[in-house]
Amino acid sequence: MDRVVIIGGGPGGYEAALVASQLGGAVTLVEDQGLGGSAVLTGTVPSKTLIATAEVMSEVRESAELGVRLHADGDGCAGTADPDRGVTVDLAAVNARVLDLATKQSADITERLLGEHVTLVDGRARLDGPEHVVATRADGTEEVLDADIVLVATGSRPRELDTARLDGERILSWRHLYALTELPERLIVVGSGVTGAEFASAYDALGCEVVLVSSRDRVLPGEDADAAQVLEDVFARRGLTVMSRSRAASVLRDGDGVVVTLTDGRKVTGSHCLLAVGSIPNTEDLGLETTRVETDRYGSIVVDRVSRTKARGIYAAGDCTGVLPLASVAAMQGRIAMYHALGDAVAPLDLLTVSSNVFTSPEIATVGVSQQQVDDGLVPVREVVLRLRGNPRAKMQGNRDGFVKVFCRSVTGIVIGGVVVAPRASELIYPIALAISQRLTVDQLSASFTVYPSLSGSIAEAARRLHGTRSIT
Ligand SMILES: Cc1cc2nc3c(=O)[nH]c(=O)nc-3n(C[C@H](O)[C@H](O)[C@H](O)COP(=O)(O)OP(=O)(O)OC[C@H]3O[C@@H](n4cnc5c(N)ncnc54)[C@H](O)[C@@H]3O)c2cc1C
Ligand SMILES: NC(=O)c1ccc[n+]([C@@H]2O[C@H](COP(=O)([O-])OP(=O)(O)OC[C@H]3O[C@@H](n4cnc5c(N)ncnc54)[C@H](O)[C@@H]3O)[C@@H](O)[C@H]2O)c1
C-alpha cells in the first residue's frame, strides 16, 4: 500500500486525500489551522457568505423600480444601505453567521476525511528529504512520517506592504474582516483585482461608503475589459468612488482612522483600509531545499500539468504552485496528482476549460478563450455580444447591466469561450463551459430549449446569432 502524505488541508489537499484513499493509498494529511484551508476558513467560503447578504441588500436597494416600498422603522441598527428606506445590516450578526458556516463546513470536511480512513495530524509540516515529512505539533513534539508520495498543498497568504502594516483593527487583510462588528464608516480598499473588487462591491451594498484605490487604468485588470467597464459604470452609479491610476505608497493609522498616501502624494482618509494587493505562496520553511523541488522567482512551486514537481514522488497543488489561484483548480490539481501518482487514468490540467466568477454585483463569469487573446490575434474567432437589457426576463427583473459574449472557431463554429455579466452569472456560465469541454458547435448549443423567459435564453440566442459567418457585436 502506497504511503501518501499531504501537507495542507485546503481544497488542494483534502480533495487529493479523498482520491488517494479511494485508490487504496494509506493517507496522512497534516494541517494545524483546521480542515478546509483558507478557502473554507478565511477566503472563498466566508467572502461568498458575506456576499450573499450583500446581494440581498443590492436587490432591496434596487427594488423601488419594481414597485416595492420600504418604510423606516427607526430601530437604530448600525449601518444603513439606504437610511431613507429603513434597510440596515447588523454586521455582527452577518459575521457571526459567516464564521459559524465556515466552522461547520470545516467540521463536515473533517468528518468526511475521517470516514474515508484518512489519518489527520494536527501540526505544521516540513519535508526532510523526499521520503520524510516532519510534523510539529503545537506542543513542540515532532512526528516523522515516511512517504512514498508527498503532495504539497500549502496555499498562499495575503501580501503585505512594508509601508502598510496590518493591525487587524483598522488596517486589514481579507482575513480580518469577519471580526468586524460594525460597518466601517468609510472603507478604503487598496487593490482592484478580484479580491478588492468583490469586497468593494459587497461593502458598498451593505451600506458603507467605499473608495477603491486602483493602481491600473481600470478595475479588474485581469478580466474581460467590457465586463470591467460594466462594473465601473455600476460602481459610479451607486456612488462608489474608484480612484484609477492611483498606487498606494503607504497606509498609516491616524487615531480612529487611516490615511492612505498615494505615490503621487495625494492622501485619502477613511475609517478602515482593506489591503487587497495580492498573495504570496506559502513555500518558505517547508524544507524544499532538502529535495529537488524547484520554485520560480515568485516563490511558487514549479509543476507540470499532472502536478509533478521536479522531485520524483513529490507533487504540488493549489495556490502554492501559482498556476491559477482558484479553489476549483486547486482541487483538480490535487486529484490529478493522486490519479497520476497512484497509477490511475489521468487527463492533464486544461486551463481553457476552467470557469471562474467574480462575485460582484453584477457577477462576471468567464470560461475559455479571452477577449484579450482574440484582440492579440492569437485565436481567430467569430464572436457575438448580446446586451442583457434586450432579454425579456432581465427587463422583468429590472436588470439592465450586463451581457452575454460567446466566441466560436471561425470555420467550424465550435464554442471556445464566453463571458457572462449578469446576476448569478456563476450559474449561467455552465452551458458555455459544457459546450467548450464537449466541443459543441454554436448550432448544437442553440438547439436545446431554454425556458421562456430566462437569462439563459440569451446564451442560446447568442449561439444562434453565430450560425453562419458574420461577427456580430
Ligand atoms: C478573499 C478570497 C476569495 C476567494 N474566492 C474564491 C472563489 O469564490 N472561488 C474560487 O475558486 N477561489 C476563490 N479564492 C481562491 C481560493 O481561496 C484559493 O485558490 C484556494 O484556497 C487554494 O486552495 P489551496 O488548497 O491551494 O490552499 P489553501 O486553501 O490556502 O489551504 C492551504 C492550507 O495549507 C495549510 N498549510 C500551510 N503550510 C502548512 C504546513 N507547513 N503544514 C501544514 N499545513 C500547512 C494552511 O494552514 C492552509 O490551511 C478566493 C481567495 C480569496 C483570498
Ligand atoms: N471569485 C474568485 O474566484 C476569487 C476571489 C478572490 C480571489 N481570487 C483569486 O485570487 C487571485 C488573486 O486576486 P487578488 O485580487 O487577491 O490579487 P491580484 O494580484 O489579482 O490583484 C491585486 C491588485 O492590487 C494592485 N496593487 C498592488 N499594489 C498596489 C498598491 N500599492 N496600490 C494599489 N493597487 C495595488 C495590483 O495592481 C493588482 O491589480 C485571483 O487571480 C483569483 O484567482 C478568486
Count: domains in the chain: 3
3-class DSSP assignment, residue 51: helix
Q: Is 155 in the pocket of ligand 2 (CB under 6 A)?
A: no
Are 386 and 289 contained in the same domain? no
Domain-located, residue 338: yes
The CB of 198 under 6 Å from ligand 2? The reply is yes
In this structure, the answer to whether residues 298 and 404 fall within a common structural domain is no
Read off the amino acid at residue 134.
Answer: V
pLDDT at residue 339 tops 70: yes
Our mutation pick for probing the ligand 2 site, out of 174, 215, 264, 274, counting the most ligand atoms within 8 A of Cβ, is 215
**Nearest-ligand number for the alpha carbon of 288:** 1
Name the nearest CA neighbour of 435 among 384, 377, 368, 378. 368
What does the pLDDT read at residue 69? Answer: 87
Query: CA 404 to CA 69: how far, in whole Å?
Result: 31
For residue 330, pLDDT beyond 50: yes
Cα 406 to averaged position of ligand 2 atoms, centre (Å)? 26
Question: Is the CB–ligand 2 distance for residue 38 below 6 Å?
Answer: no
Q: What number is the average pLDDT over the span 387-416?
A: 97
Are 369 and 352 contacting, i.e. CB atoms less than 8 angstroms apart? yes
Q: Is residue 62 included in any domain, yes or no?
A: no
CATH number of the domain enclosing 368: 3.30.390.30
Query: Mapping DSSP to helix (H, G, I), strand (E, B) and coil, where does residue 431 land?
Result: helix
Q: What is the CATH number of the domain that holds 249?
A: 3.50.50.60
Helix axis angle for 225-238 and 194-206, nearest 10°, is 30
Judgement on whether residues 188 and 153 belong to the same structural domain of the protein: no
Quick one: which of 287, 10, 261 has its CA closest to 147? 287
Same domain, 270 and 403: no
Q: What is the pLDDT of residue 149?
A: 98
Nearest ligand atom owner, CA of 12: 1
Is residue 443 situated within a structural domain?
yes
Last residue of a domain, one of 227, 253, 277: 277
What confidence tens digit (pLDDT) does each residue in 429-468 have?
999 999 999 999 999 999 999 999 999 999 999 999 999 8
- With CA atoms as reference, report the closest residue to 53 among 201, 172, 179: 201
145 lines ligand 2 (CB under 6 A): no
Task: Tell me the best of 194, 261, 280, 333 to mutate to test the pocket of ligand 2, counting ligand atoms within 8 Å of each CB and taking the most.
Answer: 194
pLDDT tens digits along 118-149:
999 999 999 999 999 999 999 999 999 999 99
For residue 470, pLDDT over 60 is answered with no
Contact 308 CB / ligand 1 (< 6 Å)? no
Cβ–ligand 2 contact at 193 (below 6 Å): yes
Q: For residue 48, which atom of ligand 1 is closest to its CA?
A: 8
Q: What are the binding residues?
A: 48, 154-156, 191-198, 278, 319
224, 251, 277: which is the final residue of a domain? Answer: 277
Query: How far is residue 124's CA from residue 102's CA, in Å, rounded to a whole number?
Result: 21
91 three-state secondary structure? helix
Q: How far apart are CA 351 and CA 321, in angstroms?
A: 14
At which residue does the C-alpha cell 460602481 appear?
Answer: 235
Asked whether residue 52 is domain-assigned, the answer is no
Distances (CA, A) of 171 to 53, 199, 280: 23, 14, 18
The pLDDT confidence band at residue 364, using thresholds 50, 70 and 90, is very high
Note whether 416 and 458 are same-domain residues: yes
What ipTM was assigned to the predicted interfaces of this complex?
0.98
- Domain of 252 in residue numbering reads as 171-277
Do residue 272 and residue 291 come from a single domain? no
**Any ligand 2 atom below 6 A from CB of 175:** no
How much is the average pLDDT of 153-173?
97
Distance of CA 468 to the CA centre of its chain: 36
Question: Mean of the pLDDT values across residues 331-349?
Answer: 97
